[in-house]
Amino acid sequence: MSHRIAYQGHFYSEDELREALWLVQIELRNGLPEEEKREAEQQILELNGLLKSLCNP
């Protein structure tokens, strides 16, 4: 059975969280305005925390 976790009003599987994390990291590497950069960094922290809690229930 695949576990899912709620994030920003939606349910995500581990694979979906990893893909979201990958996409945010690409956006960050490509360069973002300062405010969006801070938001992306915060989102990376949140996604990593969600992955950790999903993998270690």
**What is the rounded distance in angstroms from the CA atom of residue 32 to the CA atom of residue 53?**
28
pLDDT, tens digit, for every residue of 10-40?
A: 999 999 999 999 999 999 999 999 999 999 9
Place of tokens 């990893």: 18
Check: CB of residue 55 under 8 Å from CB of residue 4.
no
Total domains, the chain: 1
Q: Residue 49: which domain range?
A: 5-55
- Inform me whether the pLDDT recorded for 57 exceeds 70: no
Place of tokens 């950069």: 37
DSSP state of 8: T
Q: Please name which of 39, 50, 57, 49 lies closest in space to residue 6, comparing C-alpha atoms.
A: 50
